[in-house]
Amino acid sequence: MSTKTLLTVEEFAQLSFSENEDFELVEGELVALSSATLCRHVSA
């Protein structure tokens, strides 16, 4: 059984990410966001 370490909003705000990384905080868990581009989803 594994233990999750939850983050507070204050801890999340202090984290630094590179420009191509996007994360959000969901109920204390750090969640990586998809890096999908708009062009991939646009039909001609």
Q: Domain-by-domain residue ranges, the chain?
A: 9-41
**In the 8-state DSSP scheme, what is residue 27?**
T
- Can you give the pLDDT at residue 44? 53
- The pLDDT confidence band at residue 12, using thresholds 50, 70 and 90, is very high
pTM for the model stands at 0.62
pLDDT, tens only, 17-44: 888 888 999 999 999 988 655 555 555 5
CA–CA gap between residue 32 and residue 15 (Å, rounded)? 13
Which amino acid, residue 32? A
- Give counts: helices (H), strands (E), the chain: 2, 2
